[in-house]
Amino acid sequence: PAAARHGAWENPRTALAFAEYARLCFRDLGRHVKFWITMGEPYTRNMTYSAGHNLLKAHALAWRVYDEKFRGSQKGKISIALQADWIEPACPFSPKDKEVAERVLEFDIGWLAEPIFGSGDYPRVMRDWLDRRNNFLLPYFTEEEKKLIRGSFDFLAVSHYTTILVDWEKEDPVKYNDYLEVQEMTDITWLNSPGQVAVVPWGLRKVLNWLKLKYGDLPMYIIANGIDDDPLAAQDRLRVYYMQNYVNEALKAYILDGINLCGYFAYSFHDRSAPKFGLYHYAANQFEPKPSMKHYRKIIDNNGFPGPETLGRFCPEEFTLCSECSFFHTRKSLLAFIGFLLFAFIISLSLIFYYSKKGRRSYK
């Protein structure tokens, strides 16, 4: 409340106040805390450019305080945590769709990531886009501020929840972003939560690879990954499916893509702090584990997924071990080839019938 009365993040002095607050936390709690996050998921879509500018300086000042005054004795690590949902071009073969997808990624993630993990300045794509629209509200860093901010991290922490499709053509005014000239949409075949959050596991793997391509082989942590679910739904099935498949994509990124992924944290621990997102249901001052908590614990206890004897394909609708789903899933290429042969056979028969009929008419 006091900070809000003085302009909150719009006030440059807030960065100094935050650094002093961080110093107190390091001094009093540093003996017990070895993993620090300065800012948790700043939501860039609702943030002004001046607020983001001061927030970056506040983070960097806090990081420097820890690095210079406390790291030697406390041996901890510190960084910022960014929200990093994936943006997928609606048509992967469209250069315009790819361009708008990259633009949104830079505004959503690169805005705060590039000054810290990259060049020390805002993304070139971002600055050029705003200049073209005669928007000169994005501040400039001094050379000293660039040196202050660049490299102020020990790891790259992200939260990830979903994936959004984008198109360059305006189709739905409700979901069209005039500011970035991008149409947001969702695939009708994707599962959706009660809150209309799309379940797209492969988006997590893609955003981790994008971050590695942009900023190098940095230690990464997924500090929040979760979905809302209907508290009355039996067996908590959507969250179990979400967790199973998102953890699997994180595993693919680690093993197949060489992402330096050091940790994964499910969101959230209980419904009291995050209604409908919790692994524990809260009622009458008691916490009761949901089925998703039990499933998550099995993954942790086994240090991985179940063994070969329980492998199979889970059907999202029923989430039961489904031999029919497993049969079709493991034979996609064969089924596609059979479908192609069937299609070619039908076309051939049609052509034979057409030309034989045409030949009879010519003979008459």
Residue pLDDT, tens place only, 15-41: 999 999 999 999 999 999 999 999 999
Q: Which CATH number characterizes residue 176's domain?
A: 3.20.20.80
Sign of CA pseudo-dihedral 89, 93, 97, 100: positive
Task: Please count the structural domains in the chain.
Answer: 1
The CA distances from residue 344 to 335, 349, 353, in Å, are 14, 9, 14
Average pLDDT, rounded, for the chain: 89
CA distance 250 to 1: 39
- 251 contacts 204 by C-beta, under 8 angstroms: no
What's residue 251's pLDDT? 95
- 166 contacts 86 by C-beta, under 8 angstroms: no
CA distance 60 to 76: 16
Here the tokens at position 193 are 């939560």
Confidence category of residue 13, pLDDT binned at 50, 70, 90: very high
Residue 315 has pLDDT above 80, yes or no: no
What's residue 361's pLDDT? 57
Here the tokens at position 154 are 């020990």
Q: Is residue 361 part of a domain?
A: no
What's residue 302's pLDDT? 86
What's residue 125's pLDDT? 96
Q: Is residue 336 part of a domain?
A: no
Q: Which residues contact residue 256 at a Cβ distance below 8 angstroms, ignoring those fewer than 6 apart?
A: none
Q: Is residue 339 part of a domain?
A: no
Sequence-ordered strand ranges (E) for 50-195: 77-83, 86-89, 156-159, 163-167, 176-177, 182-185, 191-192
Mean pLDDT, range 125-152, rounded to an integer: 95
CA distance 51 to 10: 5
Residue 273 has pLDDT above 90, yes or no: no
What's residue 306's pLDDT? 66
Q: Is residue 233 part of a domain?
A: no
What's residue 360's pLDDT? 60
Percent of the chain at pLDDT exceeding 70:
88
Owning domain of residue 201 = 2-225
Q: Is residue 358 part of a domain?
A: no
Percent of the chain at pLDDT exceeding 90:
70
Mean pLDDT, range 169-173, rounded to an integer: 92
Q: Is residue 357 part of a domain?
A: no
Mean pLDDT, range 156-182, rounded to an integer: 95
Phi and psi at residue 183, to the nearest 5°: -95, 120
Q: 61-75, pLDDT tens digit by residue?
A: 999 999 999 999 999
Q: Is residue 107 part of a domain?
A: yes
Token pair 């790819």 is at which residue?
98
Mean pLDDT, range 116-135, rounded to an integer: 95
Q: Is residue 12 part of a domain?
A: yes
